[in-house]
Structure 1
């Protein structure tokens, strides 16, 4: 009970998009788990680990997320791989990158191409124009939005091998190869905001496996990793935030088992970072084709699958697509989803329906 209270109070203070609801079994006296919080990638990192060295494993998790941000995927931190690429590349010339970065670029492009090219890897100029993630609270001038949109174009970013051959799928990569990113023109830049936290969860799973942790639940912002098993053999129960309630309000829970393989749950919504102007909500999930925040009627999307990067990318895509297209897209990647629209209607894939429980009667399954 002590761990449960500490965990919930941490979430209430931090205001995570997804909250944990853990229950320690009454007969579980051997390992009650170690819970801690940290901060990385601009968000809270919440960790609960079940292992003989819980504190060390939990600290390793937070360090893993911090190193990923600092060394590889941050567009802000000088010296990270993405920062170097964005500031050093020359149009038309291959720039050597790591296998992991090449993998991430191809993975995001695959998801985007399957969803009408709406998950822009090169969204940074448009995101900076709006500045919602940095606290700006006014709609930019139309001309500035149009100028920013003109340099958002993923078709001008390519992953190539040593011979200059372009790769189009993750399956074409090998860890022992040498890979390059090639930009067709200047002004483009990489930004993994749509899947970076999911990538972090994937890396955390690798860290937990290396450290032989028995079980863990880790949240990096709106992306959650459920790993291994709890000592009492029960599953993990994850709370889904009420998108029109306060940051501590839940509208339902998802229960998953991860004893055979890690399970990842990512939630995106129009309530995370936004402002209201003239009675209209403007949020941080931007449509690269219109230059404005997505306006499909979907206000929250929770994706469940076996890849953190994929769950994160798909949850963002589900906000950018109409509900029927979003459901179809998620199914094509063998994932599951829970969608909530502005009228508080819920749409789900079949398997998600078996895992999901509504706790707020204002929401109805359609």
Structure 2
């Protein structure tokens, strides 16, 4: 999962729940990582334009959900940007700004409609050779959903699932009977305790995306890992970071919150808020590049201690 993971659980079967959860995370990482040559994702990418690949039901569910959401978001979200991830290599020793011609060529291979699904045997095919999918924006959220199921099986009524702070779920209240207070990452500071602010969550998913996670700066320009599928470049929407809260009543809340952080980042503050306000059980915070902070009304009720480096948008 390429992140530090922390699992907390309170209850008679807490140790079993945590141990089973870590085993499940390891299974999912082996299946969904594009960096492992034996993973289902790597096999799909290698067979692009050639043949279907039968995959684990978990991988099929991630891809199917992601494809459906690509349709709903009119392509603002598209897991076939894997070809861009491979081209730019952001976060590796080979990271660089590709030529315009390379980007234009790669863009021809970005199209969620070319993800072919065969539900009867959980098989997937990419229609054209050279295509690649990347489940980095959905796998952690799927893992959170899976851990929630394991916690429920072991009757855990208080706990925190933390997939590296970018994908979280809070079960019930803390041992002190309060909501879980989560420090939101300051997008321009790595100082411990220097947060953007605090959000209190209870029986809710919380996902965060930012241009600080994997990036490099060249000629004064920050190139980050959140790509705009329409341009082939890192999204330039005036957003530094954004956070999504999804209520426990919403199906697939982990995957949905992960996907929405990317969609909102690409859309920008105004369009991002407009989208989230149409979705029951979903709240949103967006930190703009100029230091303005936008929130839905529901998010404001859960938020406190805004850092002095930022200001609430009118």
Per the normalisation by structure 2, the TM-score is 0.89
Give the Cα–Cα distance (whole angstroms) in 2 for the partners of residues 339 and 327 of structure 1: 8
Cα deviation code 1:275-329 (max 9, x no counterpart): 1111111111111221111010011110000400000010011111121211122
Match of 1:274 in 2: 215
Aligned residue among 35, 41, 66 for 1:82: 41
User: Contact 1:201–1:225 at 8 Å: present in 2 too?
Assistant: yes
The equivalent of 1:9 in structure 2 is none
294-303 vs 45-54, greater mean Cα deviation = 45-54
Instruction: Report how many aligned residue pairs link the two structures.
Output: 305
| C-alpha distance in 2 between matches for 1:54 and 1:128 | 40
Name which of 118, 128, 144 aligns with 1:160: 118
Aligned to 2:186: 242
**Is 1:321 aligned to residue 267 of structure 2?**
yes
**Native 8 Å contact 1:156 1:185 kept in 2:** yes
Structure 1 contact 214–230 (Cα < 8 Å) conserved? no
CA contact (8 A) 2:172 2:179 kept: no
- Unmatched tracts of structure 1, length 5 or more: 1-40, 163-177
Residues 247 and 149 of structure 1: CA distance in aligned 2, closer, same or farther (over 3 Å): farther
Could you tell me which residue of structure 2 aligns to residue 51 of structure 1? Answer: 11
Residue 141 (structure 1) aligns with: 99
* C-alpha spacing 1:284/1:278, structure 2 compared with 1 (3 Å): same
Write the deviation string for residues 199-256 of structure 1: whole angstroms up to 9, x where unpaired. Answer: 1111111121222223211211211111234333221111101112225321101112
SS at match of 2:131: coil
The answer to whether the Cα contact below 8 Å between 2:244 and 2:257 also exists between their aligned partners in 1 is yes
Compute the TM-score of the two structures, normalised by the length of structure 1. Answer: 0.77
Task: Note closer, same or farther for the CA distance 1:56–1:98 as it changes in structure 2 (3 Å cut).
Answer: closer
Match of 1:311 among 249, 257, 269: 257
Deviation per CA, 1:145-196, whole angstroms, max 9, x where unpaired? 222222222111122344xxxxxxxxxxxxxxx4432432222222111111
Gaps of 5+ in 2: none
Q: Is the 8 A contact 1:123 1:191 kept in 2?
A: yes
Change (3 A) 1:43 1:161: closer
Distance 1:329 1:135 in 2: 36
Q: Secondary structure at the match of 1:312?
A: helix
Quick check: 2:244–2:284 contact (8 Å CA) kept in 1?
yes
Kindly indicate whether the alpha-carbon contact (under 8 Å) linking 1:137 and 1:276 is maintained by their aligned counterparts in 2: no
* TM-fit CA distance, 1:42: 0.9
Q: Does 1:302 align with 2:243?
A: yes
Q: 1:69 aligns with which of 18, 25, 29?
A: 29
Q: Taking structure 1 as reference, are residues 247 and 316 closer, same or farther at Cα in structure 2, changes over 3 Å only?
A: farther
Is the Cα contact below 8 Å between 1:115 and 1:321 reproduced in 2? Answer: no
Whichever of the two has the greater Rg, that structure is: 1
Selected match of 2:146 from 177, 195, 203: 203
Equivalent position SS for 1:132: coil
The CA deviation string for residues 109-128 of structure 1, in whole angstroms up to 9 with x for no partner, is 23223333021211111111
Task: Look up the SS of the partner of 1:181 in the other structure.
Answer: strand
Kept in 2: contact 1:78–1:84 (CA 8 A): yes
